[in-house]
A and B are shown apart, each in its own frame.
Chain A
Amino acid sequence: MSSASHTSRPPMRGPRLHRSLDADRLLTLACIGLPLIGLILFFAYPMVIVFLRSITVGDSYGIDNYTEVLGSAGFWRATRHSLAMGGATTALSVFLGFIIAQGLYRCAFRGKWIIRSIIVLPLLAPSLVQALGLIFLLGRNGVISRALGVEIEIYGFWGLLIANTLYALPQAVMIIGAALVLLDARTYEAAEVMGASPWRQFRDLTLPAARFGILNAAFVCFTITITDFGNAAVIGGDYSVLATEIYSQVVGQRNFNMGAVVGIMLLLPTVISYSIERQAMKRQQAGQTTGQVAYQPSFTPLRDLCMAAVSALICASIVAVIGIVVYASFVKLWPYNMSFSLKHYNITLAGGYSSLWMTIVVSLAAAAGGTIAVFLLGLGLRRLPQALAQPIQILAAMPAAVPGMVLGLAYILTFNSTATPLYLLYGTAALIAIVNFYHYHTQGFLTVMTGFRQLPPALEEAAGSLGAGLGRTARDIVAPFIAPMLVSVFFFLFMRSMVTLSAVVFLTTPNLSVAAVTIMRLDDAGLTSQAAAFSTCVMAVVCVAVLSMKAILALMGRRNQRKGAV
């Protein structure tokens, strides 16, 4: 039903566009035009280039690259591994995610806020932190392996499976939780009075309601897993997957065309799963009704204590994996001398902390520029006829289907070529900010669109009839209304930019690096403790960002309340 709110808009918008002032039309054009040019230049065009490069053989086009890749055993092994890893991670994270979501929304026990805060921790760190943590816990020198006196082979399938599951779990919990919230209390009470046992209510009401959520979560987890590079690079060992395969083709063998082919191959499953996911989301939203009464679970000892225990266990493992990284960063010589030391914070690898400052600057730029761009786009789209708005919306929602590795590869192919003046951007921090924004464009765009959908068109029309132009309406009516959404988008873009690795890994140069890449290089160089220290710094910055966001949103909420109270 998500599209209904577009179509139900009063049909007077089209004609009004022509009647309104020329300045307004110009402004609308700019609102749409600038973000659209950005999308074409920094998303559509590089994607075309990566496709063209995949079919470039010498000076002409052909499918030779594809036949070569499809004929290589390495590619098929990586594909097999990627699919197996994706499938296993999806099954595990959806299963665990369902348990946690069920505990949070359908059971009664105290301390849910702790579970809620812990479960999102993996999103606040570069993905390779899970892998680092597992190495500190279960690796050759890990605390658990040494305590048990056993040698665990953590590099490879099992290590990667655990790391990826921890990374995908927050998404699974959020998506399934959102689906569980949809069913209201009265429905359960009706079933209860009709004689349905708790198990029957779960089977006949909860499961069908969560069906699309589960499906949706499965696709998201699968996509995250097969496109993630950080965990695979650190803990994958010899277990090659498609993401590491692209990296070794491009960085190891300087074989850009082959990299492009593998990239296109990686694009196929993510595009398919993303489009199914979008459909599932629409179906789920169609079931929503208004005037619901929230479900208030009553305490049922056996069920609730079990669920609380399982949730606590899962959270404990997340805390252990991330906490051990922080702990290890403060230890003199892991695991032989566990006394406190700050020496690992003296980063020795070339550049030191410069990449951390650089990442903060780049992330701020991506967040500020990105928030403005999606706001303008959302504002402009409201004033465009449906026939024009729809294709732009589809384009704006597309970047989420493209794995970061593929986008990064597309950028290096596009911008490291002297064919266009865009070459000037290559090797600059600006390009890294840009790739980060377009990598996460979809999520930001959809959040703002959700905000716009809640804004009644009548408000803008009222402002218009009082004589306010588009600029004034945007400033006085629209921006204050969706300000909380804009704050969320800003911090979302900032945090993702702080921790992302896959898209930027191709775009860093010896003089220009970002935090996640530095962590990978430190780990590659065997400086695991320094990698842990650097990770801790990144996590600290992101935690400050999260707290700032919470504070700002709370402040905005309170100010609105105060206004209402007067």
Chain B
Amino acid sequence: MYLTVRDATKTYGTFTALDSVSIEIEKGEFVCLLGPSGCGKTTLLRLIAGLTELDGGEITLEGAPLSELPARKRGFGIVFQSYSLFPNMSVAENIGYGLKIRDVPAPEITARVNELLQLVKLPQMADKLPGQLSGGQQQRIALARAIAVDPRVLLLDEPLSALDAKVRATLRDEIRQVQRALEIPTLMVTHDQEEALALADKIICMNHGIVVQAGTPEDLYHRPATRFVAEFMGSSNLLSAEDIARHFPDLLATHPTDEKTYLACIRPEQIGLTPAKEGSATVRSISFLGNLQRLEVDSAAGPLLVETHGRVSCRMGESVDLRIALDACTWVLDDAGQPERSAA
């Protein structure tokens, strides 16, 4: 294991920002810390960076504890949401600053800066001041500045949140390409599940200062462990075990055997739909989204959200039959914590 956080705890007065959190990052891995605002993800990132002090627990890098090492001795790279380029330095000076601190000879710095400017696709910008660049450009330079020193870990604190949608998508792909090419272990904080799904090798989903679930994007989307994860990772239909027993009894086969309360989580695109006279459900509304259609249907088990690809000849008020495959249903723990974001 490359970077390990064990039982990290951080409190601010009576507020517990992090409650005994443990995470692991392997060499070359891209890990996303995902969660609603206030869940402790940024606090965790700042603890790893050394910008905030740990109240309890331990952080180790390649087995060596980091706690005694100040931020500037850790050899990490960081990119913030608010660009935070040095306003008085040119683009080239910004990128080369970390190397200058490490007393790298000037010609080498120049060469490295040019190489990085190529990498982030801004070769003409060396002599510009940060104020002359757009938000997306500034964030590319901030990325180049962070990776210039070959950081042992790259930390990204919501780096795309301040950018508009188009730039965000482009830069997202570029970050992934650069990370893949250089194989830098990377930890990114985000509240955008789409971003996390697209970028991460591993997603750590957090809420109220604890890790709710960690796993691959596929795991978190298709096999959420709790109601919170299910609702945070996109839209889902959540049905009680009683409703399932009454209306879709086949699905009970996979119900866990312990005593806890579980809900059935069925993703909208996993529900099959065929028009049928005297069907079990009625189409209440249809929204056309181009590549897919989103339908609200009234079933005996209550309203359900259904997404279909391609052309489906359904009309409002029409009667339909529903099909749910056994493996489309995941049983999620009904966690007491109220979700911050409800299903769409």
Contacts and interface: CB of A to CB of B under 8 A. Distances in A.
B49 interface: yes
Closest 8 CB pairs of A and B: A186-B84, A208-B88, A194-B98, A193-B78, A186-B80, A195-B72, A192-B71, A187-B84
A287 interface: yes
Given A193-B51, A196-B72, 15 more contacts: A189-B71, A189-B80, A190-B78, A190-B86, A190-B145, A191-B86, A193-B50, A193-B71, A193-B72, A193-B77, A193-B155, A194-B77, A194-B97, A194-B145, A195-B101
A286 B130 CA distance: 12
Nearest to A211: B88
B2 to A, nearest CB: 18
Given A195-B73, A204-B86, A204-B97, A190 B162 contact: no
Contacts of A291: 82, 162
Nearest to B138: A289
Contacts of A205: 86, 88
Interface string A134-169: 000000000000000000000000000000000000
B241 interface: no
A194 B149 contact: yes
B49 A187 contact: no
A197 interface: yes
Contacts of B75: 195
B272 interface: no
Nearest to A200: B101
A209 B76 CA distance: 25
B87 A195 contact: no
Interface in B66-108: 70-78, 80, 82, 84-89, 97-98, 101-102
Given A200-B101, A292-B82, A193 B131 contact: no
Interface of A: 183-184, 186-187, 189-197, 200, 204-205, 208-209, 211, 286-287, 289, 291-293
A396 B112 CA distance: 52
Contact of A193 (B49, B86, B88): B49
A204 B74 CA distance: 20
A255 B77 CA distance: 71
Contacts of B49: 189, 193
Interface core residue of B86, B101, B155 (most chain A CB under 10 Å): B86
Contact of A287 (B70, B77, B80, B131): B131
A287 B89 CA distance: 12
A189 B84 contact: yes
Interface string B26-58: 000000000000000000000001110000000
24 contacts: A184-B82, A186-B82, A186-B84, A187-B84, A187-B87, A189-B71, A189-B80, A190-B80, A190-B142, A190-B145, A192-B50, A193-B50, A193-B51, A193-B74, A193-B76, A193-B78, A195-B73, A195-B98, A195-B149, A196-B72, A205-B86, A209-B87, A287-B87, A289-B87
Contacts of A184: 82, 84
A306 B55 CA distance: 28
A197 B102 CA distance: 11
Contacts of A204: 86, 89, 97
Residue of B73, B97, B142 with highest tally of chain A CB at under 10 A: B97
A189 B145 CA distance: 13
Q: Is the interface of A mostly helix, strand, loop or mixed?
A: helix
A293 B82 contact: yes
Interface residues of B, number: 31
Nearest to B46: A189
B82 A209 contact: no
A194, A200, A204, A291 pick with most chain B CB within 10 angstroms? A194
A191 B80 CA distance: 12
Contacts of A183: 87
Specify which of B87, B142, B155 lies most central, judged by the most chain A CB atoms within 10 Å of its CB: B87
A194 B101 contact: yes
Nearest to A292: B82
Contacts of B98: 194-195
Contacts of A195: 72-73, 75, 98, 101-102, 149
Contacts of B146: 194
Nearest to A1: B131
A292 B82 CA distance: 8
* Most central of A190, A200, A292 by chain B CB within 10 Å: A190
Interface string B158-197: 0000100000000000000000000000000000000000
A186 B87 CA distance: 12
Nearest to B53: A298
Nearest to A198: B72
B80 A209 contact: no
Best-buried of B50, B73, B77, B98 by chain A (most CB within 10 Å): B98
A187 B131 CA distance: 14
Contacts of B80: 186, 189-190
Nearest to A183: B87
B249 to A, nearest CB: 53
A287 B129 CA distance: 10
Contacts of A189: 49, 51, 71, 78, 80, 84
Contact of A187 (B70, B86, B101): B86
Contacts of A197: 72
A286 B132 CA distance: 11
Contacts of B70: 192
A271 to B, nearest CB: 29
A286 B87 CA distance: 10
Contacts of B77: 193-194
Given A204-B97, A286-B131, A192 B84 contact: no
A42 to B, nearest CB: 41
A192 B51 contact: yes
Given A192-B72, A195-B73, A209 B84 contact: no
A208 B88 CA distance: 7
Contacts of B78: 189-190, 193
